[in-house]
Amino acid sequence: MGNREYLRKSRRGTQRINWNSVVFNISVWIVLILLLAPIVLVVFSSFSGKTHLSWPFTDLTFRWYGEVLRRSLWVKAFVNSLIIAALATAMSLAIATPAAFALSQRKHKESSFIRSFISWPLMVPPVMVGIALLMFLSRAGLRGSYLAIAIGHTLWAAPLVFITMNAVFERFNPVYVSAASDLGANGFQTFVRVTLPIVRSGMISAVFLGFVISTQEFIIALFLYAPKTITLPVEIYTAIRYEISPGISAISVYMIGIVAAGLLVIDRVIGIENIGFGGKG
């Protein structure tokens, strides 16, 4: 299937091609190690029995996993992250899905402008968004609330949900919609009864994307949080400036575990290849 098999059949000798693929495979491994090493190290270090982290991690233990759950600050931050992520996901889906549907239907000048406008928040440095929202939302008396942080995260998650959903709707065959309207359904009925069931897998991927983007964002949260609504990334960020300890690793592993479990579930439901920003292979 892959074009490397074709390359192997080429007229120039096989030896050079093998050499190429050796170098290529080593490079792939190096890149993968660079991507995965930090996560693997965090997981390893959470089992370290020593209170200060130093290699090699000895006296392996599970005790940090229990200990960290007894620290109410960490648990609170964890729960806050989940609440805010749920809020942000709901808002992103609610505003981005209809827009993705509308803009996938027609290709005019204004629709391509709106499409690029929706991705602007991804281009603006998050520090700018944080500062701007801090000023605006403190004036509205919302600073430090769950809603404030969720609004900030929606600016980051909605464009990604939009891109995913837009790709889904573009692959979607409009014949079904015309059939539904020929049979007398209005726009809303068509959307709920015909369009939504077809785009289910895209929706699942978008929900996952929105949720995860919100749980990992912390720059906007850093500007907007109050002690009562601190999120886990902000808590970790402030903690690791002063210490690195197995306790922080353990709470991180809980978070990593959620992501890994989510990815595996998604793979079961819709196939891991279908997550992404419209890049379907």
Which parts of 63-102 interact with another protein (CB under 8 A)? 91, 94-96, 98-99, 101-102
Of these, 7, 79, 192, 196, which contacts another protein (CB under 8 A)? 7
**Least distance in angstroms from the C-beta of 121 to another protein:** 6
Site size for another protein (CB under 8 A)? 107
**Least distance in angstroms from the C-beta of 277 to another protein:** 6
Instruction: Determine the Cα–Cα distance for residues 147 and 83; give it in Å rounded to an integer.
Output: 10
| Region binding another protein by CB under 8 A among candidate stretches 2-10, 63-71, 176-184, 192-200 | 2-10
Written as six digits, the tokens of 23 are 């170098």
Of these, 133, 177, 194, 206, which contacts another protein (CB under 8 A)? 133
* 242 is a contact residue toward another protein (CB under 8 A): no
Near another protein in 13-32, by CB under 8 A? 16-17, 20, 24, 27-28, 30-32
* 113 is a contact residue toward another protein (CB under 8 A): no
Instruction: Determine the Cα–Cα distance for residues 48 and 203; give it in Å rounded to an integer.
Output: 40
* 51 is a contact residue toward another protein (CB under 8 A): no
Near another protein in 149-178, by CB under 8 A? 151-152, 154-155, 158, 162
Nearer to another protein by C-beta: 86 or 259?
259
| Region binding another protein by CB under 8 A among candidate stretches 59-67, 70-78, 173-181, 234-242 | 234-242
Full 3-state SS string of the chain: CCHHHHHHCCCCCHHHHHHHHHHHHHHHHHHHHHHHHHHHHHHHHCCCCCCCCCCCCCCCCCHHHHHHHCCHHHHHHHHHHHHHHHHHHHHHHHHHHHHHHHHHHCCCHHHHHHHHHHCHHHHCCHHHHHHHHHHHHHHCCCCCCHHHHHHHHHHHHHHHHHHHHHHHHHHCCCHHHHHHHHCCCCHHHHHHHHHHHHCHHHHHHHHHHHHHHHHHCCHHHHHHCCHHHCCHHHHHHHHHCCCCCHHHHHHHHHHHHHHHHHHHHHHHHCCHHHCCCCCCC
* 62 is a contact residue toward another protein (CB under 8 A): no
| Region binding another protein by CB under 8 A among candidate stretches 33-41, 59-67, 71-79, 171-179 | 33-41
* 127 is a contact residue toward another protein (CB under 8 A): yes
Of these, 15, 59, 125, 227, which contacts another protein (CB under 8 A)? 125
Of these, 58, 60, 183, 273, which contacts another protein (CB under 8 A)? 273
